[in-house]
Amino acid sequence: MAKVTLVFAVLLIALGLGFYLGTGSKAPTALIPTWFGVALGLFGILANSPEASRRKLFMHINVTIGLLGFLGAAGRAIYAITSGHSPDQVAVTAQLLMAGLLLIYVILCIRSFIAARRARLV
């Protein structure tokens, strides 16, 4: 699962940099997906360990980062859409893409945790 984490980290970094550089944005908030990607990447590298306890710790940290990122991005996108005034469509698109990526990542992590627990019990 650590390798999957690194893939999602690269995707988030690309998403953040793509929207920041591609739109000519000067707002530092456009880089939020990049920072989540950097955090996932750092802890993904640390989770790439033969030690089970170390791998477990860092993967739990990663899924927590992923869940917080999903909740933040989805919450901001929903708020922007339902707030009553016209939202920045580029920002909402970036938020929804970040939320979608992180939702997929969290689901994959949960499935992996369940499979690991079942394998330990057998």
pLDDT digits (tens, 9 = 90+) for 37-91: 999 999 999 999 899 899 999 999 999 999 999 999 999 999 999 988 888 899 9
Q: What is the 3-state secondary structure (H, E, C) of 30-83?
A: HHHHHHHHHHHHHHHHHHCCCCHHHHHHHHHHHHHHHHHHHHHHHHHHHHHHHC
Quote the pLDDT of residue 85: 84
Quote the pLDDT of residue 122: 77
Quote the pLDDT of residue 23: 86
- Residue 24 confidence (pLDDT) above 90: no
Rounded CA gap, 17 and 96, in Å? 16
Quote the pLDDT of residue 13: 97
DSSP code of 104?
H
11 or 90, higher pLDDT: 11
Q: Report the percentage of the chain scoring pLDDT > 70.
A: 100
101: pLDDT confidence band, cut at 50, 70 and 90?
A: very high
pTM check: above 0.85:
yes
